[in-house]
A and B are shown apart, each in its own frame.
Chain A
Amino acid sequence: MSKASGHVQVLTANRLSDGAVVFLNFDGDWVATLAGVVIARSPDEVRGLSARGLFDAGRNLVVDPYLVEMREVAGALLPIRQRERVRLEGPSILDDVPGYTAPAASGVGVNAGGNREAACGDRGRRAEAA
């Protein structure tokens, strides 16, 4: 069960190839946004999601998976901790970085398909993007 009433957990990690922040979505892919992310409410769901993180880390899709506590606000997910909000949204100062060049848009997902039967978070429900 989540630590506080009304809080849920999602699974996050960094992508192995470039370190980008990713979240596990309902299709079993690791993606850059909270759109369609798997959420866990019950202790069983939390355990399942945690196991999925370790499984995908073992498959070298992602690094350092862990669960992030969120609260649902008007159907959207918002991280409880400021750390996770910054991690989700990116550095808050990029507009002021001299010479900052945003990367070209690219597919951000890490396809973990083919093992979807192992996506224990499937027991959770699809969430809206924050």
Chain B
Amino acid sequence: MYRYDEFDAAFVRQRVAQFRDQVARRLSGELTEDEFKPLRLKNGVYLQLHAYMLRIAIPYGTMSARQLRKLAHIARTYDRGFGHFTTRQNLQFNWPKLSDIPDILAELAEVEMHAIQTSGNNVRNVTADHFAGATAEEVADPRPYAEIVRQWSSLHPEFSFLPRKFKIGITASEHDRSAIKTHDIGLHLKRLAGGGLGFAVWVGGGQGRTPYLAQLIRDALPEADLLSYIEAILRVYNLHGRRDNIHKARIKILVNSIGLQAFRSEVEAEWARIKDGVLKLPAQEIARIEAYFAPPQFATRPPPAALRPADRSFDRWVTRNTHAHKQPGYAIVTISLKPIGGIPGDASAAQMDTIADIAQRFSCDEVRVSHEQNLVLPHVRLGDLWSVYQELKAIGLAEANAGLVTDIIACPGLDYCALANARSIPIAQRLSARLAPRQDLVGDLKIKISGCINACGHHHVGAIGILGVEKRGEEHYQLLLGGSGTEAAALASITGPGFGPDGIIDAVEKVVDTYLRLRAGPQEAFLAAYARLGAEPFKEAIYAST
């Protein structure tokens, strides 16, 4: 795991002191809200519906037990006893007092965390595969490259006032768990023809009111050229991106308005100018960062012959919530933050403390945050699975539903968010409760819910997507089908007229019923069935009686 050097530590401490002074001047009236707002946003502080919200970066979704304990402490001491893990591998506190936030940031700095650039028109938290460094599917751990990009982009003077926010995601597996095609820049680390490592670079993806999937701008970028190529993309975007209309300011609009070829030409021209300059990544610098992410010392003794007592619930959990590890004798464990009828992504301070303890004892001191709002224990010995399961069960987080229809992504929605038009969380809760009895029968099926067009709940890439809108002052929900955020990324299509809060629950159940009735068999997943059948049978079922 990356550790701050003296520069990092001094920089973050300095930033805390600056913000403490800025908050004091705001509370005293020396700064107006117009003057203060851009300063607080640069430090991850939003003003939401009911209170301020602090968004804390968890770089590439990786944190230590010590860091998670600190988040629990902050939840307990400064907030209301819980935190919310987001679709960008961040954590949000929904109730901090403005006057407390400098103290919170000082506490975060003690454990090498911060909230810098979790908001504002700059490069946001770089996200990565939550199984990085543990899965056998990857060509290499993508996190060292994410860290290199993080260091390059932090307070980058040229890119601190971009036309709009900028999101970078990275994967090193063919199976994309990072949804890279929904990012402004998506990076796919892979082995190049010559044997070295490099990247397929995707550009111009994004959701929001105008969703686009990213397009491939360069297929085989040598790793040494990573920063110069990204800088060239950012420079072209910074120059040509629209600043006159917030809804047309993202890079996806630029790429799709001038076309990929024209955009690529500009990027390549700029890159040719800078590629052999100071941004060339020396192999020794990559190796230096890689050393921070060296694999832990795995136990070499064989796992016990009997991994588990006879327990059907445990069997289900192992089947659904563990994933093959690159190290024999180990597994990757997904901790579902989606208890049936619960709130997606929420964890109490007590739960965070217990998970930190489990991570310290059973997962080489590491915890990951997934963009699907779950937590991950990346390195668990097979012989420890039973113990881990028992301890998670004791805190209500042993639901065996990773990837199932109850593993729902939902943004905070109108319950918290000032931008939202409709509530997301209660819809997720009701769907979870309604569909839970059949979740094993249904199999893999991703429902994603957003409370407004900004699409923080990724509804555009949900197999079943739900978008909350406002209709004559009341909540209304549009239904979308057929989306995916994986390597087979696809944008979902709206089925037709929307529904009220009760109607959307029934409509989703009809979609599930139709899938179960028409699928070729349990082996045909929802998206495969949808591709074969088309939208019509689902629409017929949904709108038959309306």
* A residues adjacent to B (C-beta < 8 A): 14, 16-21, 57-60, 63-64, 80-83, 86-87, 90-93, 96-103
Contact = CB atoms under 8 A, between A and B. Distances in A.
B81 A99 contact: yes
A17 B82 CA distance: 21
A99 B415 contact: no
A16 B98 CA distance: 8
B423 interface: yes
Nearest to B352: A99
Contact of A14 (B27, B47, B347): B47
A91 B416 contact: yes
B33 A57 contact: yes
B51 A99 contact: no
Contact of B346 (A16, A81, A83, A97): A97
Nearest to B48: A19
Interface residues of B, number: 45
A82 B471 CA distance: 10
A87 B81 CA distance: 21
B51 A19 contact: yes
Given A86-B414, A99-B81, A19 B47 contact: yes
B396 A63 contact: no
Given A63-B47, A98-B348, A103 B470 contact: no
Contact of B50 (A57, A87, A96): A87
B235 to A, nearest CB: 35
A92 B50 CA distance: 12
Contact of B97 (A18, A90, A97): A18
Contact of A99 (B29, B351, B474): B351
> Which 8 A-B residue pairings sit nearest by Cβ, starting from the closest?
A99-B348, A101-B81, A98-B348, A91-B415, A99-B81, A19-B51, A60-B29, A19-B52
B421 interface: yes
Given A18-B51, A86-B49, A91-B415, A98 B396 contact: yes
A112 B328 CA distance: 67
Contacts of B351: 98-99
Contact of A93 (B97, B347, B426, B470): B426
Nearest to A102: B80
7 contacts: A19-B47, A82-B470, A96-B343, A99-B82, A99-B347, A100-B348, A101-B81
B98 A17 contact: yes
Nearest to B30: A60
B39 interface: no
Contacts of A57: 33
A86 B423 contact: yes
A90 B50 contact: yes
Interface string B68-81: 00000001100011
Given A19-B52, A20-B51, A98-B342, A82 B475 contact: yes
Given A16-B26, A91-B415, A97-B80, 19 more contacts: A16-B27, A17-B99, A18-B52, A18-B98, A19-B48, A19-B50, A20-B51, A21-B49, A57-B33, A58-B32, A86-B415, A90-B50, A92-B415, A93-B415, A97-B343, A98-B346, A99-B81, A99-B347, A101-B81
A17 B97 contact: yes
B429 interface: yes
B422 interface: yes
A19 B98 contact: yes
B476 to A, nearest CB: 10
B27 A17 contact: yes
A14 B51 CA distance: 7
Given A17-B99, A99-B75, A99-B349, A93 B47 contact: no
Interface string B341-385: 111001111110000000000000000000000000000000000
B333 interface: no
A17 B48 CA distance: 13
A16 B26 CA distance: 9
A93 B425 contact: yes
Interface in B101-129: none
